[in-house]
Amino acid sequence: MKLELKGITKRFGSLVANDHIDLVVEPGQVHCLLGENGAGKSTLMNVLYGLYDPTEGEILVDGKPVVFKDPGEAMAAGIGMVHQHFMLIPVFSVAENVALGNETTKAAGLLNLEATREKIRRISDQYGFDVDPDAMVEDLPVGVQQRVEIIKALVRDAEVLILDEPTAVLTPQETDELLDIIRQLKRDGKSIVFISHKLREVKAISDTITVIRRGKVVGQADPTASPTELASAMVGRTVSLTLDKAPAKTGEVTFKVRNLTVTDHNGQHVVDDLSFDIAKGEVLAIAGVQGNGQTELTEAILGVQPHVAGSITLDGEELLGKSVKHVLGAGVGFVPEDRTLDGLVGTFTIAENMILDLYDKAPFARGVGMKPGLIAENAAKKVEEFDVRTPSVSAAVGTLSGGNQQKVVLARELSRPLRLFIASQPTRGLDVGSIEFVHKRVIAERDHGTPVMIVSTELDEVLQLADRIAVLYRGRLVGIVPATTSRDVLGLMMAGVPAAEAEANASAHASGVTAAPTVSEPAGHEGETHV
């Protein structure tokens, strides 16, 4: 099935989200839409999927113009969509989820799930999905849930499959598996529209790349183009993908974690006997697949985890058991992993968010009275310094883009003298330009002599920022390795394989050594704590 979009324009009031976009998706092709957050990729796909009516332009299927009033019509025409946020009902089984909206019934309107199960098994076998139709969706890993979404589309005979940022929630391994699935679908003649801003995947999978910037198609790119070229096309200016950073000048060790154990409400040890150190002027990156204790680790340091044992010292002072206010006051800068949930108050102004943890300190307050003038002044200064794009410091922070929101959080946390800087997923959901900025600020703080702890599930980020890498698996420390460690070894370690074994395995396999940042540091290769 050949799909064409001609001159699609979508306006929201005075806002042009899509501006005369032309796009041709050939059968059996992986067509990638590359663009920054907010470039209008999702809007375009929502138009195609019948969720929005285009203001202008038309959609052609096999040369014939069509109009989709709702997703049902789009699906009937053979278009399937896998949303970034899965549209699954967690307490339903796979078969029930797949049948939903497309139920086959027996006599008296009884649900014929067996037919659906059969279809799922067939598709699952065909593509090697390995999905059990009777498993509860909530019990499935994210990667498998995504396959259920793909099955949902395939059961409805989708010929064109739209994948909206499909890898945002996947581990590196799951991402590879997904790319394999896409290749198989392509071989079967399906067309794939792959939306992403991750250059590595885009290059790996695409036949055609269309770059969208500010609602407009700015051109086609060749998958063989270098990542820097692609990034530049996407952002509209030259960007540097490699971070220029000098080797770490490490000072004394000021931050020590000893035998840290965090117990959750089920009595499970979500952080299990963790010990590590961070010296002044170095970045320790905590790598690991999401949900292996990273969140609990950072929260334990901040003091919001209830059941914590062990010891956390900063400059010799025990932080464990202290209030959040005390920990922050001791000079800990904290960037939480979910900025909208934990980092910002969306309805508050930028100025208010800039002082969210300094609101009761001089000069912003005297006694219980606050100083609006000074607060606005401070915000204006920080907005300037951190290049937050906003019409005004009294705009609600919730109206900013993700990148600008993150800049607000960083501006706040880096605006006071720090003795430890912790940032969780500092660039999650950010575009290339913002990532570059955030990384520079992190390294600047390191070069300032602050111990820095970065938690990231993105291997690229870990490799770029880290001076040393600690890998977590199920709350345990798999090992601390130098930043020159190869991607393959780290991938294995993230699956729980000890460093030495991972090293042996990886070198036995291939010589897939990735160019890592130039920093190297003598460090123990054993999976043991390195001081």
Partner 1 sequence: MSEKTTPDPLATGNNSAPEPAPTQVPGGTTSEAVASDVALDTAGGQMPPSAVPAATQLRGRDHRDGDGSVLHQIFTGNAMVSFLSVLLAIVLGGILMAVTNPKVAVTAGYFFAQPGDLLTEVIRPYTALVQGSIFNWAGADLAAQLYPITETLTVATPLICAGLGVALAFRAGLFNIGAQGQIIFGALFGAYVGFAWHLPIGLHLLVVILAGLVGGAVWGGVVGLLKARTGAHEVIVTIMLNYIANFLLLFLLTTPAFQRKGSTNPISPFLDSTALFPELLGPQFRLHAGFLVAIAATAFVWWLLNRSTVGFEFRAVGANPNAARTAGINVARSTILVMAIAGALAGLAGVAQVSGTEKYLSGGVAASIGFDAITVALLGRSTPWGTFFAGLLFGAFRAGGVAMQAQTQTPIDIVLVIQSLIVLFIAAPPLVRAIFGLNPRKKKTTTSGTAGSHTGGVKSGAAA
Among 29, 43, 254, 292, binds partner 1 (CB under 8 A): 43
Query: Is residue 333 a contact residue for partner 1 (CB under 8 A)?
Result: no
Among 214, 307, 440, 476, binds partner 1 (CB under 8 A): 214
Within 269-298, the residues that bind partner 1 by CB under 8 A are: 290-291
Query: Is residue 51 a contact residue for partner 1 (CB under 8 A)?
Result: yes
Query: Is residue 17 a contact residue for partner 1 (CB under 8 A)?
Result: yes
Helix (H) or strand (E) holding 3: strand 3-12
Length of the chain: 531
Question: Read out DSSP for 449-472?
Answer: T--EEEEES-HHHHHHH-SEEEEE
Q: How far is the CB of 132 from partner 1 (least distance, A)?
A: 19
The smaller minimum CB distance to partner 1, of residues 36 and 296, is found at: 36
Query: Is residue 80 a contact residue for partner 1 (CB under 8 A)?
Result: no
Query: Is residue 36 a contact residue for partner 1 (CB under 8 A)?
Result: yes
* Of 102-110, 375-383, 468-476, 499-507: span binding partner 1 (CB under 8 A): 375-383
Query: Is residue 39 a contact residue for partner 1 (CB under 8 A)?
Result: yes
Nearest Cα neighbor of 479 from 495, 460, 459, 458 is 495
Residues in the interface with partner 1 (CB under 8 A) total 95
Integer-rounded Cα Rg, in Å, for the chain is: 25
Contact 409, 383 (CB under 8 A): no
Q: Count Cβ atoms below 10 Å from residue 71 Cβ, excluding itself.
A: 17
Binding track, positions 130-169, relative to partner 1; x by CB under 8 A: --------x---x--x------------------xx--xx
The smaller minimum CB distance to partner 1, of residues 373 and 522, is found at: 373
Among 25, 54, 83, 282, binds partner 1 (CB under 8 A): 83
Q: What residues form DSSP beta bridges with 161? A: 80, 192
Query: Is residue 13 a contact residue for partner 1 (CB under 8 A)?
Result: yes
DSSP letter (8 states) at residue 341: I
The smaller minimum CB distance to partner 1, of residues 115 and 356, is found at: 356
Nearest Cα neighbor of 328 from 303, 351, 348 is 303
Nearest Cα neighbor of 40 from 15, 61, 65 is 15
Query: Is residue 398 a contact residue for partner 1 (CB under 8 A)?
Result: yes
Query: Is residue 331 a contact residue for partner 1 (CB under 8 A)?
Result: no
Query: Is residue 379 a contact residue for partner 1 (CB under 8 A)?
Result: yes
Query: Is residue 449 a contact residue for partner 1 (CB under 8 A)?
Result: no
Query: Is residue 201 a contact residue for partner 1 (CB under 8 A)?
Result: no
Q: Which CA distances in Å does 71 have to 46, 104, 111, 273, 319?
A: 9, 19, 23, 50, 53
* Of 273-281, 332-340, 446-454, 477-485: span binding partner 1 (CB under 8 A): 332-340
Contact 344, 373 (CB under 8 A): no
68 Cβ contact list (under 8 Å, min separation 6): 48, 49, 50, 59, 74, 77, 79
Query: Is residue 86 a contact residue for partner 1 (CB under 8 A)?
Result: yes
Q: Count Cβ atoms below 10 Å from residue 65 Cβ, excluding itself.
A: 10
Among 338, 384, 526, 528, binds partner 1 (CB under 8 A): 338
